[in-house]
Chains A and B, each alone.
Chain A
Amino acid sequence: MNERVPFPEQVVATPEVVERFGDLHPPFDRQAAVPEANRCLYCFDAPCTTACPTHIDVPSFIKKIASGNLSGSARTILDANILGASCSRACPVEVLCEGACVMHRYNKQPIQIARLQRFAMDALHESGAPLPFEPGPETGLAVALIGAGPASLACAAELRRRGIRADLYDARPLPGGLNTYGVAEYKLPLVESLREIEMLSQLGVEFHFETKVDAAGLAELERTHDAVFLGIGLGAIHQLGVAGEELAGVTNALDLIAGYKSGALTTVPERVVVVGAGNTAIDAAIASVRLGASEVHILYRRGQEQMSAFTFEYQHAKDEGVKFLWHVQPTGIRGDGVVKGLELTRVAGTEDGSIVPEKDSAFVLEADLIVLSIGQATHANFLSGSSSSGSSSAFGKIQLERGRIVIDRATGQTSQPKFFAGGDCTNGGREVVDAVADGKRAGIGIAGWLGVQHGKG
């Protein structure tokens, strides 16, 4: 067990990627962090803490930076959010903690909470100190966690701190899910995600990589464990369903991002078209710019006001030179073996929310690479158990709603008591910090359901 290679050492940084995807928000140095920390008012029942899905005690960890208690600061962060380093980089703080800062109402810049949080976490990692928690006394209980993304990792941490065995199963060769493979590199470098999970492994989480859990496998895990946590995220990215989608040069946003982060992809062709206007689409479009494309378009069938990307992400994409085409719908892909262009029709929204094509508005946008980012399917089929060998497992009856697993928000418990769930598979796709919060609540929920109430180590 101890002979394994630490996660960060299992990847090799690609020089092109390192150079092209430098920090979007450079780290603080001490000379900047301490005055910024002292600017914090130390609000009572602080709005930033309430706005954080994991409820990090923001004023406390900032106070500790101000006083020079950096290890205490890191512990305060990790106690609420075991992936505090990733979240300090990946969180859309503009709509969370920093967005809630009372300084906005005083015509002042909000406290730079994310950069302070990263400062504390970096200091912990650089100090070489271990994770400031220990596993609880072993209870003999065991929980299987499917997927090694933020939700499962957070859940596993809570379980281990209460002495419950946590067996994590993931289809990929490395842990972290979207943290490792799906967040833009200039926000969260792959190696940083792994560095954090490496620390977490000190709690004794058992990882099982490159292990696909199918219905039969799940039934087996249900039998051999005291509870099962589903942190399975979302499935494949949707297809357009138009002719030519099979051509070389059609890919999806997650593959593109995972590709360049892992070093498998170091360049893209001249003209890139990204279909969809969510935060992932923005990440893919900016990545295309940085990977060498000279012309990058984002297409969306609705208007700017309906896009799911945050306003600051949209602004960032524009700043990087991404062009936006609103109210257009792809109708076909042209090419001869490889992609040459995308057939588009202008559309108009109607009062009932549907979209109707405008007459004679078809045109072709030339492209060498088409990146689809139009939402992801769910794992509903996998859970329905229909493909399993007629097992009588409970998960076949887990209640779903629009493909999402229905849970009790406070505990993460599904309609089948032995099954808990959290993260994207329950909320349809939100931020890392939401997955961490779900996983944390589920970990506490599972422990409570299993009758383990004692305090955390």
Chain B
Amino acid sequence: MAKDRPTLASTFCGIECMNPFWLASAPPTNCGEQIMRAFDAGWGGAVWKTIGEPITNVSSRYSSIDWEGRRMMGFNNIELISDRPIEVNLQEIAEVKRRYPKHVVIASLMVESKRESWHEIVQRAEDAGADGLELNFGCPHGMSERGMGSAVGQVPEYCEQITGWVKEKARTPVIVKLTPNISDIRVAARAAKQGGADALSAINTINSITGIDLDTFQPNPNVDGKSSHGGYCGPAVKPIALNMVQQIQADATSALPLSGIGGIGSWRDAAEFILLGCSTVQVCTAAMHYGYRIVEDMQDGLLNWMAEKGFATIEDFRGLSLPNVHEWKQLNLNYQIVARIHEDLCIGCQLCYTACWDGAHQCIHLDRTSPAPDTTRTPKMVEAESARRISTTPIPKLDSGTSGRTNAITPLERIPRVDEHHCVGCNLCSLVCPVENCITMERIDKDLPFESWEERVAKGLVATGTGEVMSTNT
């Protein structure tokens, strides 16, 4: 355990950061007044909402996905870059940097794909005092139709070329923000690296339509009865972002200092991105949902976790999980686990039973009370049996014995049993079980030596089949 309180201070592609929590280029970083309030709340940096030729927005421009009562699990926008004059934005950058010299201000930039235009905007942003530049090659809507945003990010040649133009002029670090709307994010990352980028940020939003109003048949967000595809973000996209971050960081030709983006709302999310190699994280949806104040717990939680784990700095755990992500063929085929249901915790909901039968491998049974294991009863038969039961309202005076009925203990016939000989260790039952630790996965392989598919092929134990098999993720 580190004796001293750990520090969140770090360096990202040469930029000194007091903490890794940045606001992403978006509505929360629209103007200087906002960014100064965010810095007061504890944010270490902010990527200024993309500066370029001012645009006109539509209304509405946001829509979201709710999940079982939780609001905004997924968020979508068709808002464009800044609608304020370049001059105003640059003046405010200067003002913010004057008042908050230690906080990081990155200027997000997007102009037409001309060398002079980029040279000019780079010069002006740096003159205003920006600590770095983020090239917006990711905006998936509106701007892409004008040959900017993801229209650039999706074409490696453009990506490399424009990065090169910027690098010709830039004195501060250049960060290229990548679009996920591409089959292999590493292609764009390599292009940016080739063009001389100092760092990357990923991911930008994902093309989406969040939903359709079932009364009016109008998609969301509704702009005078019509809609357009928008950029998807929020908690729902985190797994996609983590995967892309890992792909970039595990590939030597792509890897650069990385600012992670995508569904980060808590210190836990941030820790996961850093464990996959990110140096800073950028937050947007969570701040739009709850306000700037969320950063307090993000800092506090991460520091407490670091202290618990004995990490003094971000660098101490950055990338630690990267060696644990492999291709499937390198995984241990000899590692075996089975599900174990802990009777004392089981509440008898039987979600594991029906999930295993219908959704997995038919290894969970309801036969604890029968003398011989019966593995032939299907869920349909079980339900039919109980449907035929005649029940009546228990009345204490009339039904002696039923009044003492207790709910404290789950009756044996409601506690499912795992057939460990057939259990494939898929894990589904423990995922659906609503009670923590009620179903655990236990190791039963008796420590067989490690053996992967790759090794089996190498030993000639299995046929390789078609030789090189295409995988979408390698």
Shortest B409–chain A CB gap in Å is: 7
Interface size class of A (residues with CB under 8 A): 35 or more
In the assembly, what is the distance between CA of A357 and CA of B414, in Å? 49
Which residues in window 380-403 of B have CB below 8 A to A?
382-383, 386-387, 389-398
The answer to whether B387 and A55 have CB atoms under 8 Å apart is yes
Identify the closest chain B residue to A279 (Cβ).
Answer: B395
Q: Chain B's interface: helix, strand, loop or mixed, by majority?
A: loop
Q: How many residue pairs between the two chains, A and B, have CB atoms under 8 Å in the bound complex?
A: 91
Interface membership of B435, Cβ < 8 A: yes
Q: What residues on B are CB-neighbors of A99 within 8 Å?
A: 405, 407
Stretch at the interface among A161-169, A250-258, A342-350, A428-436: A428-436
Shortest A31–chain B CB gap in Å is: 10
In the assembly, what is the distance between CA of A50 and CA of B391, in Å? 7
The answer to whether B68 and A106 have CB atoms under 8 Å apart is no
The answer to whether B397 and A430 have CB atoms under 8 Å apart is no
Identify the closest chain B residue to A80 (Cβ).
Answer: B387
The answer to whether B434 and A45 have CB atoms under 8 Å apart is no
Identify the closest chain B residue to A51 (Cβ).
Answer: B391
The answer to whether A410 and B390 have CB atoms under 8 Å apart is yes
The answer to whether A66 and B68 have CB atoms under 8 Å apart is yes
Identify the closest chain B residue to A103 (Cβ).
Answer: B347
Interface membership of A217, Cβ < 8 A: no
Given contacts A35-B69, A106-B347, A106-B434, contact A308 B391 (CB under 8 A): no
Shortest B377–chain A CB gap in Å is: 11
Q: What residues on A are CB-neighbors of B397 within 8 Å?
A: 278, 306-308
Q: Which one of A42, A45, A106, A278 contacts B435 once the chains associate, using CB atoms below 8 Å? A: A106
The answer to whether A100 and B407 have CB atoms under 8 Å apart is yes
The answer to whether A430 and B348 have CB atoms under 8 Å apart is no
In the assembly, what is the distance between CA of A106 and CA of B347, in Å? 7
The answer to whether A38 and B350 have CB atoms under 8 Å apart is no
Given contacts A35-B69, A308-B396, contact A45 B383 (CB under 8 A): yes
In the assembly, what is the distance between CA of A434 and CA of B390, in Å? 10
Shortest A326–chain B CB gap in Å is: 14
In the assembly, what is the distance between CA of A102 and CA of B352, in Å? 14
In the assembly, what is the distance between CA of A429 and CA of B396, in Å? 13
Identify the closest chain A residue to B353 (Cβ).
Answer: A44
Q: Mark A79-118, 1 if CB is under 8 A from B, else 0.
A: 0000000000000100110011111111000000000000
Shortest B461–chain A CB gap in Å is: 41
Q: Which one of A34, A35, A102, A441 contacts B348 once the chains associate, using CB atoms below 8 Å? A: A102
Q: Which one of A43, A105, A106, A428 contacts B351 once the chains associate, using CB atoms below 8 Å? A: A43
Which one of A105, A427, A428 has the greatest number of beta carbons of chain B within 10 Å?
A: A105
Interface membership of B452, Cβ < 8 A: no
Given contacts A47-B414, A105-B410, contact A41 B434 (CB under 8 A): yes
Interface membership of B470, Cβ < 8 A: no
The answer to whether A307 and B396 have CB atoms under 8 Å apart is yes
Q: What residues on B are CB-neighbors of A44 within 8 Å?
A: 349-351, 353-354, 379, 382-383
Shortest B231–chain A CB gap in Å is: 27
> Can you spell out 30 A-B residue pairs with CB atoms less than 8 angstroms apart?
A43-B348, A43-B349, A44-B383, A45-B383, A45-B386, A46-B349, A50-B391, A51-B391, A52-B391, A53-B391, A53-B392, A66-B68, A92-B393, A95-B393, A101-B407, A102-B348, A102-B349, A102-B410, A103-B347, A104-B408, A105-B347, A105-B348, A105-B410, A106-B347, A427-B392, A430-B392, A430-B398, A431-B393, A437-B390, A437-B391
What 7 pairs across the A-B complex have the smallest Cβ distances?
A: A104-B407, A308-B397, A44-B350, A44-B354, A105-B347, A43-B349, A102-B347
Question: Which B positions have Cβ atoms within 8 angstroms of A?
Answer: 68-69, 347-351, 353-354, 379, 382-383, 386-387, 389-398, 405, 407-410, 414, 434-435
